[in-house]
Structure 1
């Protein structure tokens, strides 16, 4: 029998400082960790060690803030490049998790790469919804937030949307003439998601919907629990692997930046959550040509401008088959987040996308 002392797992999980640096919701994470390591004491030990290391690790200073050039409600338009005689390029992130995934750190920033390459690049920050925004649906995020930001620019911009932001850019392009649109890992054909994932997401939403309706928003913790449930084993393994990362290494810095991003973010408005889960995930409105925004059906095939869809064959969050059918399509083999911030993002996504933008006048 192993006579080594039993670790104080509660102390490891809670720590004695920096409780804000922890997976949200922490109790659910601990439940998943315990369940996934039930038959592997060593994996459990390493996962708890990685968790405490994540909670206590020193964070580098955030990159310098970009300049805000326009606001619409809580949303802001942040300029990363310098104005020039080319078309502006506006990057639109998902409503889920903060926009910083596109500007994660000095060395892992698609926006800073695009600015350095000569693009007049902008990033949409959706901000934190106010209580009176409870009925602001996905359509309102396009018509009352995104379109006013675009109108503040001196000329129509090229749009680049990531994840759900890609779906919203297609809606914006249907209402506001733009030179070109590119989407990255954008969900569109929801019937292409695995049935098990649709059932999982549907069940989580049915359970959370009454509470979300009462409070007027969808807490980030509800969304995070869905992501974890899709691949709980991977969630725990990455924390176990982090236990072995060298202090101050690029691997440690990358893990901290990505996990802090994944565990942060404002809630969704209730109406946006309802539109997303009841309208898109459940009824596949976009994939069946029935999604309307601003009184107009959003049909990517009807867009008059050049369009590009970039998907990944190893994306666990948005399967490649779920992407929109656009005039050009390119496929990668990196994960949903890794494709935009991973070690190969520059060569596989940033540089090819930059070249495409230049060919479109951006």
Structure 2
């Protein structure tokens, strides 16, 4: 006799946290019942949309604990892509026809994706710097040859530290925050208030649930959070645009929690105190300063990024300025021309010197 699946085995397509989404929906569409109806229609369509099978994960080139480097093939010297700890790493490999990593593997480059894995209960004291020390640096050592690094979002902040502590052939940053004082003060205040309310529970749990981080991101631009579901309601569910929306939203609503210490460090040491921008962030006891790196550096910065504003970047003059959203610069319709191709050209030149 077949038994019903356990309650938590049912597909959960979000948005996460759904109660907050519904609260934002009510506040953003209070004066427009038509908008509210459209957003709810889009929400229902998203939740019931078919999902493509992502297929098996790419082979593992190196593993340290729960983290590993996934090999996307290609040729030449390795380039390690370091994603943020927030959300899964597969935004860099969103779908077979929208994958920075698969495309770049065809350009004479060997990309390796760092998969952070899910934190273990005994790792609650591992901070952001601790992830660099305990996981990223040993993975680079395990390769047996110097690699270039490409860091996205908070992964870029962490990649700066790795480049300061290991010999690398080059460092490219994509929407990577460094001067956290460059975030709007209102957003930083909201982050502080959110952490003050969540900290006691997170300390007890030993981790920071992804829903708390999602709350912070949605409050940066609540209108956009609701508006994209209004627009999705108008799409043909079989269209490429609709499939791309579902794939991207599934990524945005997925992700393991952060360790407690990584959450504390993010809210207190980065957003509140801006230790990196103030020249006081240390990893393995060494103060990290991107201006002192000896390797070639490229900083890809979007002037229209609302999640990681351009004012928070390293400020170094070796940068390319884009005009795309924080995620759109990696997976949007203009991503190949704006980011993929310049990045591939820079990496090819780097390894052909």
Normalized against structure 1, the TM-score is what? 0.93
Task: Supply the distance in 2 between the matched residues of 1:253 and 1:152 (Cα, whole angstroms).
Answer: 37
Q: Give the whole-Å Cα distance in 1 for the aligned partners of 2:306 and 2:184.
A: 10
Within-5 A mapping of 1:120-135: 120-135=110-125
Per the TM alignment, residue 212 of structure 1 is displaced from its structure 2 partner at its CA by 0.6
**Counterpart residue number, 1:209:** 199
- Residue of structure 1 aligned with 2:92, choices 84, 102, 122: 102
The residue aligned with 1:278 is 268
List gaps (5 residues or longer) in structure 2: 1-8
What corresponds to 1:288 in structure 2?
A: 278
| Pair 1:52-2:57 in alignment | no
Tell me by how many angstroms 1:65 deviates.
Answer: 2.2
Q: Matched residues in 1 for 2:238 and 2:142: separation? A: 41
Task: Give the structure 2 partner of residue 139 of structure 1.
Answer: 129
After superposition, residues 294-333 of structure 1 pair within 5 angstroms as 294-326=284-316, 328-333=318-323
Tell me the equivalent position of 1:241.
231
Q: Alpha-carbon deviations, 1:273-319, whole Å to 9, x = none?
A: 11111001000100011000011000111111101111101100000
Partners of 1:63 and 1:105 within 8 A in 2: no
Distance in 1 between residues matched to 2:149 and 2:273, nearest whole Å: 26
Contact 1:81-1:114 at 8 Å conserved across structures: no
RMSD, matched Cα? 1.3
**Matched residues, number:** 344
Q: Distance in 1 between matches of 2:228 and 2:244?
A: 12
Larger deviation, residues 296-305 vs 68-77: 68-77
Per the normalisation by structure 2, the TM-score is: 0.95
Residue 179 (str. 1) matches residue 169 (str. 2): yes
Q: Tell me what 2:66 maps to.
A: 74
Unaligned stretches of 5+ in structure 1? Answer: 1-16
**Counterparts of 1:265 and 1:108 in 2: how far apart (Å)?**
20
Q: Distance in 1 between matches of 2:79 and 2:55?
A: 20
1:336 correspondence with 2:326: yes
Deviation at 1:64, TM superposition (A): 4.5
Which deviations, in whole Å up to 9, do the C-alpha atoms of 1:188-235 show, x marking residues without a partner?
001111111111111111111111111110000000011111111111
CA distance in 2, matches of 1:270, 1:61: 32
Shift of 1:87: 2.2
Instruction: Report the counterpart of residue 10 of structure 1 in structure 2.
Output: none
Aligned to 2:5: none
